[in-house]
Amino acid sequence: MKKWLLFSLFLIGTLGPSVGQDEADTTSIAPVENISTLTLWGHYGSIFAHSVEVHNTAGSHPAGVHLDWGKQWYGAGSWMRYGCLPRTGVTLAYYDYDNAVLGRSLTAAYYLEPTFPLSSRVLLGVRGAAGLSWLSNPYHPERNPTNMSYSTALSAYLSLGVSTYYRINQQWALALTGDYQHVSNGGFRQPNKGINWPTVGLGVDYAIRPVVLKRPANLNRQQNWRASESLNDLYVFGGVQNVAAGESQQYPLIGGGITIRKQIGRTNTITAGVEAYKDYALKEKLARDTLTHLSSLRAGGLLGHEFLLGKVTFSQQLGIYLFRQAPYYPLLYHRWGLLYQLNRSYSAGVNLKVHGHVANFWDLRLVRHW
């Protein structure tokens, strides 16, 4: 994945809503209203062959169809609470990658899209989505030995985009979007260079009943968040991965860390922390390369941002290694995480660690808040 994705998700978090956050807050002068929407998209794009291992996918032009079911928030109460008119929902997508090596995919993903009225007819949206993709033709040493992009039929999906909606009337709109999409298995099995493809999409959007989407004037947003104190997180995580393409042997990794979090807006938190972890797949690789004198322990410092979706937290972090002896990785990395709040003290979720455009590993984690 490109490094600009981290910055783009920060912007979405900065502009985006906390749908379902602070449900008990009744200080709005107007109700927070929403309406169901359906959007049908047609997408066409180009494969980004980001490394020499995936040059056999260059020149391919994926074509796909997306069907979105969502909720569009509107009205003075929504604007005062979120600072935009947010849209959230689920998208189902089908793609033909125009390449026999890559095959086809089916995707289900959750999306968050803050929208901003530019006029009585035009809305601008900034959208992020995360989910799972089923892929038809993974790497196989005999059936598909040249697929260096993915080796598992089930992989993670991420996308970022900017959309424009032109409202024909109070129920129908035409839509145009530009998206950058990514699929990989997070290093669970090699090879795993990922699929990256920017697309342009045209769509038709329908609201189930007439609705006016406009920016209310002269409203002050709620500022309750200013009373919040800094929070601390202590977490442990673990995962598995293999060493080389075609191998079935999985090796564990285990680790933990500490994060300090400070809320800077109703929907935004900045973070700083440290982490350390033992990677047994890395230990095996070092042994195969006769580098057993080097440690498979890695530690890093992290700065990041979170945006809050009710009980769900979506995090983005930029890390720098403070300790790494293995010669295989660059100094910088980034992390993408989803956490679900179990209660006031604990959350659980998943996190993806990435070097540049190549995923390193997924992990499952348990977080203790205090």
On the question of pLDDT at 22 being above 80, the answer is: no
Mean predicted confidence (pLDDT) in 300-328 = 89
Do 121 and 199 share a domain, yes or no? Answer: yes
185 within 8 A of 152, measured Cβ to Cβ: yes
Give pLDDT tens digits for 213-231. 987 765 555 556 566 667 8
- Please report the pLDDT score of residue 56 as a whole number: 93
On the question of pLDDT at 180 being above 60, the answer is: yes
Do 175 and 236 share a domain, yes or no? Answer: no
Classified as helix, coil or strand, 80 is: helix
Provide the CATH number for the domain around residue 70. Answer: 2.40.160.20
Q: Which residue shows structure tokens 């790497």?
A: 139
Mean predicted confidence (pLDDT) in 95-111 = 96
Give pLDDT tens digits for 282-309. 999 999 999 999 999 999 999 999 877 6
Taking the whole predicted model, whether its pTM rises above 0.85 is answered as no
On the question of pLDDT at 4 being above 70, the answer is: no
Task: Say how many domains are in the chain.
Answer: 2
- Please report the pLDDT score of residue 158 as a whole number: 87
Do 59 and 139 share a domain, yes or no? Answer: yes
d(C-alpha 17, C-alpha 266), whole Å: 8
Do 67 and 190 share a domain, yes or no? Answer: yes
Helix ranges restricted to H, the chain = 4-15, 75-82, 280-288
d(C-alpha 298, C-alpha 282), whole Å: 10
Looking at per-residue confidence, does 294 or 126 come out higher? 294
Q: What's the mean pLDDT when you consider all of the chain?
A: 86
The structure tokens listed for 73 are 């928030």
Structural domain containing residue 93? 4-207
d(C-alpha 88, C-alpha 109), whole Å: 11
Least confidently predicted of 31-35, 95-99, 233-237: 31-35
The structure tokens listed for 8 are 């783009």
Please state the separation of Cα 160 from the chain's center in Å: 8
Residues in the chain: 370
28 within 8 A of 77, measured Cβ to Cβ: yes
Classified as helix, coil or strand, 55 is: helix
